[in-house]
Structure 1
Amino acid sequence: MLAIPLERLGFIIAKAREFDAEVPVEPDATTGSDPPDDDERQILLDTPDNPTEQELRDAIDGLGMPERQELLALTWLGRGDYDADNWPEALRQAGQTMPAGLTDYLVGTPLLADYLEEGAAALDLSLEDFERG
């Protein structure tokens, strides 16, 4: 059903989860921010030699255009912007509005792993065997 191999998708999810977990995000209830965590995350994001981030970026950059389109549409599907019945529309929209910096967009998306996992589940795709990283 997908152009992106499930093994590759599982790897991307595993790396996104690992990258997200490196710096816990605990926002302040009143401002939605926690300056110490924000600083730590910014340092992590600004570090060019973060191996987890680089593996995630390489995995996304290594995808062909149809696979990148699916990754974006899966993110939207998992985030709740679309449902499984509207999958063709999500794919079409992803193809039309894909940002030039898609890798930066996806790597900078909080909960990316959860969104991709939820998107795959909405399409009845099982990634259990592939999320090892």
Structure 2
Amino acid sequence: MEPTTPIETLCRIVLRGREYEAQTATDYDGGEAPENIDGEDGEALSVLDDAVNDSVEAELRSQFDDLAEDQLAEVLAFCWVGSGTYEASDWAEALEAAGEEGHGAINELMDMPMLAATLEAGMAAFDISCDSIGDLS
């Protein structure tokens, strides 16, 4: 199967999806060591900062906005196949249902847990991979 969306575009969405989902380590309480129960200083804790990187979110949303409606539907259908909502053999049905979402598909994609991995899994169901694609930064 040859997707209507350029593979480079799909792979760029995967890359930005990973960045969008990423959590980065940060020091607890701005680097201050918390006190133990007995009042002594403890070790600084490392926690995950789940603040969304607004520029990555805007870039990912912009990539979706720039897609033609059939390409946006294709990305959503790939994700549905990757998540198991549809089987690869039901591609025509998945694509038709995704096309009915219109630009509402953008919000569904932005809210999708593990967007990058799900899209990659859907692409892999059709032997489409980002392995041969160079630097997409």
Give the TM-score of the pair, scaled to structure 2.
0.73
Q: Which runs of 4+ in 1 moved over 2 A?
A: 99-102, 129-133
- 1:50-73 CA-partner distances (Å, limit 9, x unpaired): 111111111111000100010110
CA contact (8 A) 2:13 2:60 kept: yes
Distance 1:64 1:58 in 2: 12
1:121 aligns with 2:128: no
In structure 1, what residue type is equivalent to 2:114? L
Q: Please give the per-residue CA displacement for 1:20-47, whole angstroms capped at 9, x wherever unaligned.
A: 01368xxxxxxxxxxx97xx64x52xx7
Let me know the Cα RMSD of the aligned residues: 2.2
- Corresponding pairs, count: 114
Aligned match of 2:61: 57
Equivalences for residues 63-102 of structure 1 within 5 A: 63-96=67-100, 98=101, 100-102=103-105
User: CA distance change for structure 1 residues 60 and 23 in 2, over 3 Å: closer, same or farther?
Assistant: farther
Query: C-alpha displacement at 1:87, in angstroms?
Result: 0.8
Normalising by the residue count of structure 1, what TM-score does the alignment of the two structures yield?
A: 0.75
**Larger helix share, 1 or 2:** 1
Q: CA offset at residue 102 of structure 1?
A: 2.2
- Structure 2 match to 1:2: 3
Q: Describe the shift of the 1:123–1:80 C-alpha distance in structure 2 as closer, same or farther (beyond 3 A).
A: same
Residue segments in structure 1 that go unaligned for 5+ positions in a row: 25-35
Specify which structure has the higher proportion of strand.
2
Range with greater deviation from structure 2 (8-17 or 52-61)? 52-61
Confirm or deny: 8 A CA contact 2:69 2:102 kept in the other structure.
no
Structure number, greater radius of gyration: 2
Higher relative contact order, structure no. (Cα contacts within 8 Å, ≥ 6 residues apart): 1
Q: Percentage identity across aligned positions?
A: 34
